[in-house]
Amino acid sequence: MVRDPVCLMELDPLNAQAMAEYSGRSYYFCSEQCKRKFLARSETFINKAPGMRLTVGVMGSAGSEEGMQLEKISYALGEAIAQKGFVLITGACPGLPYECARGATNSGGLSVGISPALSLDEHVHKYHSPSDNFDVIIYTGSGLMGREVTNIRSSDMVVILGGRSGTLGEFAIAYDEGKLIGVLEGSGGITATLPDIVASFGGKDTGARLIYDSDPQQLMIRLAEIYTTAHYKHPSDFCHDSSPAG
């Protein structure tokens, strides 16, 4: 349960009549009227029922051959996430996710890495992954494929950035679990083929929604708007008994 910061009513987030994002945190309301009051005088209400930070999972290529332009795009995405006040979640790997973490950290944001390893030693020496530019690293011990599920399920919104087969696997998890998914157009990899891939699903409806944009700032603005106006009611298709198979 959460509490409406205006009237202090206890709510189930899925049954809240409205939601708002303020400084990267989520607030739920019993009515549109309470939401309007909150937005008009947010500073009056934010400490009455503190909101949780919203999380953005960034999935992309961990390869070392990515060009400088793609690294700049990934860095800018990290900056955009931090500027919205959201928490960045990545696979704590090199490549584009690492550049995104650099952008978030250098902009004062909070960055969480989901590691496939059992410990920092294994993270660095077995998986050859970075440990800097992360405020927190979660050691799952699940391996490269297993940690993807933790990454996706810990994210309120997911962004696909470039990537190859591993990123495609992460996209498939996010899609089947009904996530709100942003696709950063122009970032290469699988992003150019995702519309055709989704079309090949034959209209399978998991509740997932895809947003395409080539501008990191605009992508984050659009994702935040859609999440707070509609998608917060459907955080994961697997939370419901009607989950589709396959």
Amino acid letter, residue 200: S
Rounded CA separation 224/222 (Å): 5
With 70 as the cut, is the pLDDT of residue 241 above it? no
CATH number, domain 55-238: 3.40.50.450
Report residue 60: phi and psi, to 5°: -165, 180
- Residue 187 · residue 161 · CB < 8 Å: yes
Tell me the whole-structure pTM to 2 decimals: 0.91
Burial class (CB in 10 A: 0-12, 13-18, 19+), 71: middle
Q: What is the pLDDT of residue 31?
A: 97
Where in the chain are the domains? Answer: 2-52, 55-238
Q: What is the pLDDT of residue 48?
A: 92
User: pLDDT grade, residue 17 (50/70/90)?
Assistant: very high
The mean pLDDT value for 224-232 works out to 94
Mean pLDDT of the chain: 92
CB atoms within 10 A of CB 49: 19
Q: What is the pLDDT of residue 67?
A: 78
The mean pLDDT value for 7-34 works out to 95
pLDDT per position as a tens digit, 80-89: 999 999 999 9
| Residues facing residue 90 across a β-bridge | 113
